[in-house]
């Protein structure tokens, strides 16, 4: 790769004077109320015209991210990977996928972002690696009962000739969780466990190499200046080594389920926290913890474990007042005893886009319910997504924003079937549309595909086709439209970053529930009202309107609208 002058300069500075790295923003508790933007690299911006997003593309768009008012970016896995699960099949943590760039370029990107006040969070996937990872290749080559296989879960099959799977654990994607290997002489061999696809063999966390390697990976990226790590599938990582069957109706003693939320996880995350704490500045650990039991969830957030974890309870709720209120209350109550901030997430690279989800009769989110052809009213969905943006951005804690939600992109539901790439789709016998609909390359400018995603003169089309509807949703277009979703998000994030009442953590409900209105006070003098009912409502007393998701009608707050108000203290 040819390096330009800035890169050359930054690289040499970084290499020879580590102490002269640009001074990062210094607030040690930045993560408690940060706005964090999730980048799915493959679909963010393509710098070299091959139709695939890359680090060059991200670097070119850093000013866009600064103007959006975010504090950090989180990159979904950007490492070397065969991309059998969008990069969550990591072949080598110490290399960047060559389609995206190089480690040197990642270092430059981290520095350039910091210079604009943006920290970088990388993704680590401890539950599994790619089947192309050196360890798995060594395990296959070394054969049955070899030490190389002990880093994974290899087992003899059951049945007379080992033809039956070792156990019947369900997969986190539909389909099987075991794949049988073939011995060097061509005979059928042992099976290996994979909670996700066969290309993602599960690691055995009882093995010391597995622990050591991940600790080294954390250091590798902390040494390169990252401000935090997002931990994939964080509650699945430790297994009962006896691999007993899972009884779906049994009540396991807490911490003793065969493969979920086992007590042994806490020890791992404590050692990760110690590593994070040994670095200057605050390096944060963010867990992807899918647990319905919020008390168990909060255990991961004790002061010597993870700093924060994603709160999916809120994201999964339908657009109605009682369910959202309950999720907000439950979240705040669960976090309070451990003193950790809540996180608020409306979507990510796995979830149906809010504009689409909120336009449906059933606006809750559940992987199991995803189907092609669900009737959707995008105008209603867009209106609710705007209100949801203001509601969410006003809650106390950290905010996660998935790329493209700031443009109000809908889920793309008409990707030609032969272009779909997601194992969730394939493994459901093609019944579940999968997650590609929220992973379509972003529209930046212009009236025709690739809408500025790739530079002029690009040699290839975007890796997933963009719909013509993206023409009306480009960044360029929205920047000129004061009523656009982009400008709403910009104003919300900027205000959120400077309003003392929103920066603090105090939150109190105002009025009673069951009114179809969520009405709360933040700090001294900000009040937030969201109308989830069918009738316009009067605004409470206020001295100014700070921000409204859609215009008032005759002085009233219309349905599916949220407003931030200044009140007297």
Q: Is 125 in the site for ligand GLC (CB under 6 A)?
A: yes
**CA 170-175-179 angle, 5° bins:** 90
Minimum gap (Å) between residue 48 Cβ and ligand GLC? 25
DSSP 287-321: E----S-HHHHHHTTSTTS-SEE--HHHHTS-SSH
Query: How many residues bind ligand GLC, per CB under 6 A?
Result: 10
Provide the β-strand partners of residue 182.
Answer: 188
Encoded one letter per residue, x for contact with ligand GLC by CB under 6 A and - for no contact, window 220-239 reads ------------xx------
Stretch that binds ligand GLC, among 6-14, 81-89, 238-246, 413-421 (CB under 6 A): 81-89
Show the tokens assigned to 75.
């990159």
Stretch that binds ligand GLC, among 83-91, 186-194, 214-222, 439-447 (CB under 6 A): 83-91
Strand, coil or helix: what is 326? helix
Nearest to 415 by CA among 396, 399, 430, 395: 430
User: Considering the complex, what minimum distance in angstroms separates the CB of residue 324 from ligand GLC?
Assistant: 23
List 75, 79, 196, 470, residue binding ligand GLC (CB under 6 A): 196
- The entry of Ca ion, ligand GLC, none that residue 137 binds, CB within 5 to 8 Å by partner kind: none
Q: What is the DSSP letter of 152?
A: B
**Nearer of residues 160 and 456 to Ca ion, judged by Cβ:** 456
Query: Helix or strand or coil: residue 564?
Result: strand
Shortest Å, Cβ 84 to ligand GLC? 10
User: Which long-range contacts link 55-64 to residues 24+ away (Cβ below 8 Å)?
Assistant: 55/96, 55/100, 55/101, 55/102, 55/105, 55/106, 55/109, 56/101, 56/105, 58/109, 59/105, 59/108, 59/109, 59/112, 61/444, 62/109, 62/112, 62/113, 62/116, 62/118, 63/116, 64/475
Site stretch for ligand GLC (CB under 6 A), options 84-92, 134-142, 251-259, 467-475: 84-92
Q: Are 192 and 154 in contact (CB under 8 A)?
A: yes
Q: Please tell me the distance from the alpha carbon of residue 519 to that of residue 530, in angstroms, as a whole number.
A: 6
Which helix (H) or strand (E) segment is 126 a member of?
Answer: none
CB of 88 to ligand GLC, least distance (A): 3
Between residue 35 and residue 54, which ones bind Ca ion under the rule CB under 5 A? Answer: 46, 48, 50, 52, 54
**The one among 37, 40, 88, 358 contacting ligand GLC by CB under 6 A:** 88
* Partner from ligand GLC, Ca ion, none binding residue 550, C-beta < 5-8 Å depending on class: none
C-beta of 200: minimal distance to Ca ion in Å?
25
**Minimum CB–partner distance for residue 226 and Ca ion (Å):** 22
Residue nearest to ligand GLC (CB): 88
In the complex, the residues that contact ligand GLC under the rule CB under 6 A are 85-86, 88, 125, 196, 232-233, 288, 349-350
In the complex, the residues that contact Ca ion under the rule CB under 5 A are 46, 48, 50, 52, 54
């Amino acid at each position: 790769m040819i390096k330009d002058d800035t890169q050359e300069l930054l690289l040499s500075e970084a290499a020879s004077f580590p102490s002269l790295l640009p001074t990062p923003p210094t607030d040690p508790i930045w993560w408690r109320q940060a706005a964090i933007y999730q980048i799915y690299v493959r679909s963010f911006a393509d710098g070299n015209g091959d139709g695939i997003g890359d680090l060059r593309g991200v670097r070119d768009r850093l000013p866009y991210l600064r103007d959006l008012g975010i504090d950090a970016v989180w990159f979904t896995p950007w490492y070397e990977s065969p991309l059998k699960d969008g990069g969550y099949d990591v072949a080598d943590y110490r290399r960047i996928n060559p389609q995206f760039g190089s480690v040197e370029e990642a270092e430059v990107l981290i520095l350039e972002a910091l210079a604009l006040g943006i920290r970088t969070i990388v993704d680590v996937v401890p539950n599994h690696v790619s089947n192309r990872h050196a360890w798995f290749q060594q395990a296959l080559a070394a054969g049955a009962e070899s030490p190389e296989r002990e880093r994974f879960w290899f087992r003899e099959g059951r049945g007379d000739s080992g033809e039956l799977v070792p156990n019947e654990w369900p997969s986190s994607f539909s389909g099987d969780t075991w794949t049988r290997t073939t011995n060097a002489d061509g005979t059928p061999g042992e099976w290996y466990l994979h909670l996700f696809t066969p290309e993602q063999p599960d690691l055995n966390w009882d093995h010391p190499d597995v622990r050591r390697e991940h600790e080294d990976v954390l250091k590798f990226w902390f040494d390169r200046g990252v401000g935090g790590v997002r931990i994939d599938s964080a509650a699945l990582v430790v297994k009962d080594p006896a691999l007993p069957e899972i009884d779906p109706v049994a009540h396991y003693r807490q911490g003793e389920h065969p493969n979920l939320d086992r007590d042994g996880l806490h020890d791992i995350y404590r050692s990760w926290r110690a590593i994070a704490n040994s670095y200057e500045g605050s390096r944060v650990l963010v867990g992807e913890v899918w647990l319905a039991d919020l008390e168990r969830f909060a255990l991961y957030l004790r002061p010597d474990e993870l700093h924060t974890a994603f709160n999916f309870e809120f994201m999964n709720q339908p657009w109605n007042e009682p369910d959202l209120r309950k999720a907000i209350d439950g979240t705040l109550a669960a976090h309070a005893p451990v003193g950790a901030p809540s996180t608020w997430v409306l979507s990510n690279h796995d979830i149906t886009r809010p504009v689409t989800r909120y336009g449906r009769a059933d606006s809750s989110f559940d992987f199991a319910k995803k189907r092609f052809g669900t009737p959707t009213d995008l105008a209603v969905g867009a209106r609710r997504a705007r209100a949801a943006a203001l509601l969410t951005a006003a809650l106390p804690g950290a905010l996660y924003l998935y790329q493209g939600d700031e443009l109000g992109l809908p889920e793309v539901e008409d990707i030609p079937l032969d272009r779909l790439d997601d194992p969730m789709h394939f493994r459901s016998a093609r019944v579940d549309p999968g997650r590609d609909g929220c992973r379509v390359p972003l529209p930046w400018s212009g009236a025709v595909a690739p809408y500025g995603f790739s530079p002029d003169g690009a040699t290839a089309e975007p890796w997933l086709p963009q719909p013509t509807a993206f023409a009306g949703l480009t960044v360029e277009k929205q920047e000129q439209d004061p009523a656009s979703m982009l400008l709403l998000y910009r104003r919300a994030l900027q205000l959120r970053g400077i309003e003392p009442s929103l920066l603090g953590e105090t939150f109190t409900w105002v009025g009673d529930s069951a009114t179809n209105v969520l009405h709360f006070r933040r700090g001294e003098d900000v009040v937030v009202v969201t109308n989830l009912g069918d009738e316009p409502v009067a605004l409470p007393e206020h001295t100014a309107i700070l921000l409204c998701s859609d215009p008032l009608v005759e002085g009233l707050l219309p349905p599916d609208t949220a407003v931030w108000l200044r009140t007297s203290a």
